[in-house]
Amino acid sequence: MNYLKRAMLYLTHKKGQSLLLLLIMSAILVFVLSGIIIQNAALSATNSVTKSAGTTISVSANRNKMFAKMRSSSSKSKTPTITTPTVSNEKIKKAGKLSTVAYYNITNTASVNASSFDTVSTSTGSQGMGMMKGGKGASTGNISIEGVTSTKLTSSFISKEDKIVSGRNIKASDANSKNVVIEKELASSNNLKIGDSITVKTTTSGKKKIQLKVVGIYKAKSTSSSMPGSDPSNTIYTSYTLPASVTGTTGKSSTVTYTLEDSGKEKATTKKIKSIINSSSFTVSSNDESYQQLLQPMKNVQSFANKIVWLVAIAGTIILGLIIILSVRTRQKEIGVLVSLGESKLHIVGQLFSELFVILIGAMVIALLLGNFVGNKVGNQLLAQQQTTSITTTAKSSDGPGGAPGTQHNGGGMHGGAMMSQASTSSASQRALKTLNTSISPSSIMKLGGMGLVIIALAVCVSSISILRLRPKDILLGE
C-alpha cells in the first residue's frame, strides 16, 4: 500500500495543482448533482401532476344522432323538433363510483319565464340595462335554469367567468331542493337578497308556477348579449334535479362530466364509463388538455436535466483525462524511477486513481453544499420558461382559426368548446407548479458518487495508456 502514501504526499506537495483539480472536479460535480436533483424533482412533479391534473371525461348527447332523428321525424311532422336524449341518474352515479373517478358533475338545463321578478335585457345600441317584464309573451322562456351537481365544478366557475359574491354555491346536498344561485345584476335590479323567494313559470301549456329560494348570488364576467332577454344575468343555477322536473325527465340527465383521480387511467376509465352508459345516443369523450399542458413542462425539464448530466459527465471526463495526460508527461522521470525500482505499473495507475479519489471526496463535499442552490435556481428558471411556453402555445391553438373547438358542453357548439378550452387553460394555470421541490436525497448522493467514480476511472484509464507504454530505460536516458 506504499502508493497510497505517495498519493497523499504528492497532493500535499503539489498544493496548486491539487487545488486546480479540486476546483475543476467541484464544478463538474456541482452541475452533475444539479442535473440529478432537477431530474428527481421533475419526476416527483410529474407524479403529482398525474394525480392532480383533473382530466375529465364527458358524457353528452350525440349531436349527429339528434339531427338524424329530427330529419326523420320532419317527414312525418310539419314542425321538426330536436329532442335531447337522457340517461338515468342511476347509471351516472354507478360510473361515478369507479375507483378512478374523483368526482362528477351532472348538468341539466331548462327554460322558464320569470313571474315574480323582472329579467335583465340589453337593447342593441344602448349603453344601459333595460328591464323586460317576465312571463309576457315569452314562448321559449326568458330565464335559463342551469342545473348542476355543484356550481364549483362547472367550467364557468373554474375559469372564473362566474364567481360567488354572496351566500354559497349550489352543492350536491341541494339535490331535490328548489335552492338557486342568481346573478348579481338580476338581484340588484329586483332588490333580491339571500333568503328571498322568487317565482318562475314553466313554458308548457299548464304554465306551472315554481317557487325558488335564493341561497347565493354570483357575478358573471361574460359580456352581455345584444339579443333582448338573453343577457347572462338571466341564468339561474340550481341543482340538476330541478330542470329535469321542469322538462319531465325526472331521474334522468343529459350531460355529466367525470373528473379523474389519476390522469394516467383516462383510457381505461373511458372504456368502463362507455360500458355502463351503454347508449348510442351519447358520446363519451375525454379532455386531458389540462393534464398535457401541465405534463409537458415537466417532461422538458426532465429531458434538459438528463442532458446536463450526460454533457457535463462527458466533458468532465475529457477535461480530467487531458489534465492527467499532461500531468503524466511532467512526471515521467518520477514514474521511470519508480518502475526501475521495481514498482508495479498498476500501482502507479492506482496512485493516480487514489489522488483523484481524494480530490473527488473534497469535490463531493463542495457539490453537496452548492448543488441544491444551483439546481434550485436552474430548475425553477427552466420550469417558468417551459410553463409560459406551454400555456401560450395551448392558448394560441385553442383560440386560432385552426384550433380545436374542444368538448361541446350543453349544446354550446364552438362557443361551448371555447369555454371548456378556456376553463382547461385557466385550471392548468392555477394547478401549474410555481417551483420545483429540489432537495438532495440519499439516492442523489449515491448517483453523484457513482458518476464521480466513473468519471475519474475513465480519466485515469485514458491517461494510463501512456504509463503502461513507458520503458524506464528510455525515460532515465531522456529519450
Are 196 and 160 contacting, i.e. CB atoms less than 8 angstroms apart?
Answer: no
pLDDT confidence of residue 218: 95
Q: Is the pLDDT of residue 244 over 60?
A: yes
Asked whether residue 87 falls in the same domain as residue 191, the answer is yes
The last residue of a domain, from among 240, 268, 287? 287
Q: Is the pLDDT of residue 24 over 50?
A: yes
Q: Tens digits of per-residue pLDDT, 353-400? A: 888 899 999 999 998 888 778 777 776 676 666 656 554 554 554 444
Asked whether residue 233 falls in the same domain as residue 270, the answer is yes
Are 388 and 382 contacting, i.e. CB atoms less than 8 angstroms apart?
Answer: no
Beta bridge partners of 174: none
State the average pLDDT over residues 93-104.
89
Q: Is the pLDDT of residue 408 over 50?
A: no
Considering only residues 435 and 462, tell me which one the structure prediction assigns the higher pLDDT. Answer: 462
Asked whether residue 164 falls in the same domain as residue 251, the answer is yes
Q: Tens digits of per-residue pLDDT, 449-467? A: 888 898 888 888 887 777 6
Q: Is the pLDDT of residue 46 over 90?
A: no
SS3 224: coil
Residue whose entry in the numeric block shows the C-alpha cell 390522469: 263
State the average pLDDT over residues 236-255.
91
Distance between alpha carbon 328 and the CA centroid of its chain, in Å?
Answer: 54
Asked whether residue 85 falls in the same domain as residue 15, the answer is no
Least confident of 53-57, 66-70, 85-89: 66-70
Q: Report which listed range, 108-117, 318-327, 386-395, is most confident.
A: 108-117
Least confident of 32-41, 86-95, 284-293, 350-359: 284-293
Q: Which amino acid is at 385?
A: Q
pLDDT band at 424 (very low <50, low <70, confident <90, very high): very low
Asked whether residue 409 falls in the same domain as residue 428, the answer is yes
pLDDT confidence of residue 181: 95
State the average pLDDT over residues 289-315.
76
Beta strands at 143-148 and 101-114: parallel, antiparallel or unpaired: antiparallel
Give the residue ranges of DSSP H helices in 140-265: 155-158, 184-189, 241-247
Asked whether residue 278 falls in the same domain as residue 411, the answer is no
Asked whether residue 77 falls in the same domain as residue 222, the answer is yes
d(CA 460, CA 454): 10
pTM over 0.85: no
Are 182 and 235 contacting, i.e. CB atoms less than 8 angstroms apart?
Answer: no
Q: Which amino acid is at 468?
A: L
Q: Tens digits of per-residue pLDDT, 190-201? A: 999 999 999 999
The last residue of a domain, from among 265, 287, 309? 287
pLDDT band at 161 (very low <50, low <70, confident <90, very high): confident
State the average pLDDT over residues 30-48.
77
Domain count, the chain: 2
State the average pLDDT over residues 316-334.
78
State the average pLDDT over residues 50-54.
59
Q: Is the pLDDT of residue 8 over 60?
A: yes
The last residue of a domain, from among 267, 287, 307? 287
pLDDT confidence of residue 437: 63
d(CA 159, CA 294): 16
Residue whose entry in the numeric block shows the C-alpha cell 400555456: 391
State the average pLDDT over residues 281-307.
74
Phi-psi region of 199 (alpha: psi -120 to 50; beta: other; left: phi over 0): beta
Asked whether residue 304 falls in the same domain as residue 206, the answer is no
Name the strand (E) or helix (H) holding 375: helix 345-399
Among residues 336, 351, 335, the alpha carbon closest in space to that of 1 is found at 351
Asked whether residue 231 falls in the same domain as residue 368, the answer is no
pLDDT confidence of residue 146: 93
pLDDT confidence of residue 205: 64
Q: Is the pLDDT of residue 339 over 90?
A: no
φ, ψ of residue 373 in degrees (nearest 5): -65, -50
Asked whether residue 371 falls in the same domain as residue 464, the answer is yes
Least confident of 126-140, 156-170, 266-280, 425-439: 126-140
SS3 200: strand
Beta strands at 235-239 and 179-183: parallel, antiparallel or unpaired: antiparallel
Least confident of 58-72, 213-227, 410-424: 410-424
Are 375 and 289 contacting, i.e. CB atoms less than 8 angstroms apart?
Answer: no
Considering only residues 437 and 7, tell me which one the structure prediction assigns the higher pLDDT. Answer: 7
Q: Which amino acid is at 345?
A: K
pLDDT confidence of residue 477: 59
Give the residue ranges of DSSP H helices in 331-344: 332-340
Asked whether residue 212 falls in the same domain as residue 153, the answer is yes
* C-alpha distances out from residue 77 to 66, 73, 204, 407, 470, Å: 16, 6, 20, 32, 103
Least confident of 106-115, 312-321, 352-361: 312-321
Asked whether residue 223 falls in the same domain as residue 206, the answer is yes
Residue whose entry in the numeric block shows the C-alpha cell 506504499: 2
pLDDT confidence of residue 133: 39
For residue 238, what are the domain limits? 56-287
Q: Which amino acid is at 216?
A: G
Are 258 and 57 contacting, i.e. CB atoms less than 8 angstroms apart?
Answer: yes
d(CA 182, CA 145): 10
State the average pLDDT over residues 439-457.
85
For every residue of 98-159, DSSP letters joined together read STTEEEEEEEEEEEEEESSSEEEEE-TT-SSEEEEETTSS-SS-SEEEEEES-GGGSHHHHT
Q: Tens digits of per-residue pLDDT, 213-235? A: 999 999 988 655 444 446 888 99
Q: Helices 2-13 and 15-52 meet at what angle, rounded to 10? A: 100
Residues in the chain: 479
Q: Is the pLDDT of residue 72 over 90?
A: no
- Tally the C-alpha atoms within 13 A of residue 21's C-alpha that lie toward its C-beta: 28
d(CA 182, CA 215): 8
pLDDT confidence of residue 330: 75
Residue whose entry in the numeric block shows the C-alpha cell 328591464: 131
pLDDT confidence of residue 342: 75
Q: Is the pLDDT of residue 104 over 60?
A: yes
What mean pLDDT, rounded, does the chain reach?
A: 76
